[in-house]
Chain A
């Protein structure tokens, strides 16, 4: 590929007419990197009838929009083909993707087909005197790897939530370059036949990004709604340790631990859970563990990242309220 310029591209991920939070997280970082390198932050938006979305991409210096009916439903092959053609002709320094279902597919396909470097699962991306250095998270967070992305073009995937979304939000109207399909998509050998909604009824806690876990400290089934409110405020799901399930306060599908599910959510809120080894086995690999227990000696505090020794019935209402008022302020 031709030597790259210094533009930082962000693949604008969207679903059902809404741009994902990760798009803004990446845009904020792209601005920062582009500024340091003397290039531009470019958002690349692919789809059909998605022009209205360009309005919110004001943090980008320019939005490249490619629209076609064949891009209406996301398929890795179609989107990768378009990105490949664009990247080949314009040679950005970096192409940023979220480490998401679509981001992962696209990043690997592009790097393989263009034979350019790829770094995945980044937590940090920094410009250092013309170089761009990425730190990836490996082995469930037990290992970090710092690498130089090279002179470009290179592909990077970034872990959701690594960068603040606010930095990528702007009410500025961006410059939009409408680009016709740069490559024929008749060679694309896949198509979406239908979309599948999540099944109603019980939740798979192993897939929930946020879990609010209750233990014996919840004391009674009637106290569960407090945990459910917190879970709702965090966009998460309630789960429990074995004793809670034994009592019948939660179904078996919500049990976390050695004899239940092993979970690795982004956030595990442990309420009134002592931290017996059988339970810890089920949640120790969560990205962030916050434990609340009235007993300062509870073993859970050796596993948690943050801990509070307090009566959970005093903390929960305060916490739910604080989250609520943040939401109102943001709206």
Chain B
């Protein structure tokens, strides 16, 4: 490979297709452009706990010293927060290429994988979701929505919006109520939508970042043929991770689908939404910018517009907002490496983050990513602040404002 080509490989464009199909030597060469400035290590919230910091690991990898890194904790401590990627002056895709490639190398070398991590990948392969729940159970949540939730295969007609519910919002008890809220909000807006139901399989963002390239490829193939089966206007999703992969990575496999996250979709319909927000939610609210929507995709205004539209809400910003937001620690396999990470670091990133939220004096921490609800609620409990603050997805707050107490969990 010519010098110019390897630089491009790591910077973008064909990067994913190349590195996930290519040989190991490719990615070692791909990081030649690294100037060893240390911005990545400085920005990384978990570098302090890593055996080798990102900067050091990149240097070692390109010098052919891969083994020590694979034996270290470094590759398991990345939560895909994209801080390094956002700050790298040479534009290297550290989050999307370097760490997944390390994990891919570890998996292929037959190294012992953290058991929870392995289980999550086995589950996704077998059941199409990392939680290991059965496909038929994917629509259980719709029973408590209070409004019809059409399933595409049963609808048998074109529809406007394909709503990709994704895995945690379909199965996790704390996130199911958010999906139910979203169904009610969409219904109130008269949106002609449908979900995929038992046919739905994970978009695979976390599996991709976990280095399971074969699994991600098979999910891309599956999802592409599934999306092509139906006639609809656009795709929306409640999961920023799905949004991340569908928007930035699927196209590199030649699979482009128009996707919006619910914050964009609803913000575009603010004029229709506002009159429906009848009940005040009298609270000081602070919003946490999640990594995928925020730092990676620049969606800072939409969620804030939605929150400000709710009567009674007084929005305050916490420290480290927008592109400087601190990750909750759940991304890129972080949900399956929680114990590995917290044992190495001695704390959870979400514990630190709720500290920022609490400092604003807000009573509600608003989020828009399904991992965050339980992570932050757990952190509030562990740090002894559960009586001072509650965590609510924007959907739950919109639903509460629309339907009053019976519609929400506030």
Residues of chain A having any CB pair with chain B under 8 Å: 216, 242-243, 246, 252, 255, 258-260, 276-277, 299
Contact = CB atoms under 8 A, between A and B. Distances in A.
Contacts of B339: 242, 252, 255, 259-260
A246 B382 contact: yes
Contact of A243 (B172, B343, B374, B381): B381
A246 to B, nearest CB: 7
B173 interface: yes
B172 A277 contact: yes
B407 to A, nearest CB: 20
A277 B336 CA distance: 14
Interface in B173-208: 173-174
Contacts of B173: 277, 299
A35 B87 CA distance: 83
Contacts of B174: 277
Contacts of A255: 339
Nearest to B116: A259
Given A259-B338, A276-B374, 4 more contacts: A255-B339, A259-B339, A276-B378, A277-B173
A243 B377 CA distance: 13
A252 B344 CA distance: 12
Nearest to B119: A258
Interface in B353-387: 374, 378, 381-382
A124 to B, nearest CB: 30
Contacts of A258: 116
Nearest to A245: B339
Contacts of B342: 246
B130 to A, nearest CB: 10
A216 B338 CA distance: 18
A243 B382 contact: yes
Contacts of A252: 339, 343
Nearest to B132: A281
A252 B339 CA distance: 9
21 contacts: A216-B381, A242-B339, A243-B381, A243-B382, A246-B342, A246-B382, A252-B339, A252-B343, A255-B339, A258-B116, A259-B116, A259-B336, A259-B338, A259-B339, A260-B339, A276-B374, A276-B378, A277-B172, A277-B173, A277-B174, A299-B173
A119 to B, nearest CB: 30
Contacts of B338: 259
Interface string B328-357: 000000001011001100000000000000
B182 to A, nearest CB: 20
Nearest to A247: B382
B127 to A, nearest CB: 14
A155 B174 CA distance: 49
Contacts of A243: 381-382
A260 B343 CA distance: 12
Which of A243, A252, A255, A276 neighbours the largest number of chain B CB atoms within 10 Å of its CB? A276
A259 B173 CA distance: 17
A208 B374 CA distance: 30
Nearest to A274: B381
Interface in B297-346: 336, 338-339, 342-343
A85 B401 CA distance: 79
A89 to B, nearest CB: 51
Nearest to B382: A243
A260 to B, nearest CB: 7
Contacts of B374: 276
Contacts of B382: 243, 246
A324 B382 CA distance: 35
Interface string B264-294: 0000000000000000000000000000000
Contacts of B343: 252
Nearest to A242: B339
Which of A216, A259, A277 neighbours the largest number of chain B CB atoms within 10 Å of its CB? A259
B20 to A, nearest CB: 28
A277 B116 CA distance: 15
B273 to A, nearest CB: 31
Contacts of A299: 173
Interface string B16-50: 00000000000000000000000000000000000
Contacts of A277: 172-174
Contacts of A259: 116, 336, 338-339
Interface string B202-234: 000000000000000000000000000000000
B386 to A, nearest CB: 11
Nearest to A248: B346
A153 to B, nearest CB: 42
Contacts of A276: 374, 378
A216 B174 CA distance: 19
Contacts of B378: 276
Nearest to A260: B339
Nearest to A243: B382
Nearest to B338: A259
B65 to A, nearest CB: 30
A299 B374 CA distance: 15
A216 B173 CA distance: 20
The 10 A-B residue pairs with the shortest CB-CB distance in the complex, in nearest-first order: A259-B339, A259-B116, A259-B338, A277-B173, A243-B382, A258-B116, A277-B172, A246-B342, A252-B343, A246-B382
A242 B174 CA distance: 18
A299 B116 CA distance: 23
A45 B280 CA distance: 78
A246 B342 CA distance: 8
B346 to A, nearest CB: 10
A48 to B, nearest CB: 43
B246 to A, nearest CB: 27
Contacts of A242: 339
Contacts of A260: 339
A243 B366 CA distance: 24
A255 B173 CA distance: 22
Contacts of B116: 258-259
A242 B173 CA distance: 18
B295 to A, nearest CB: 26
A97 to B, nearest CB: 34
A255 B342 CA distance: 13
A140 to B, nearest CB: 15
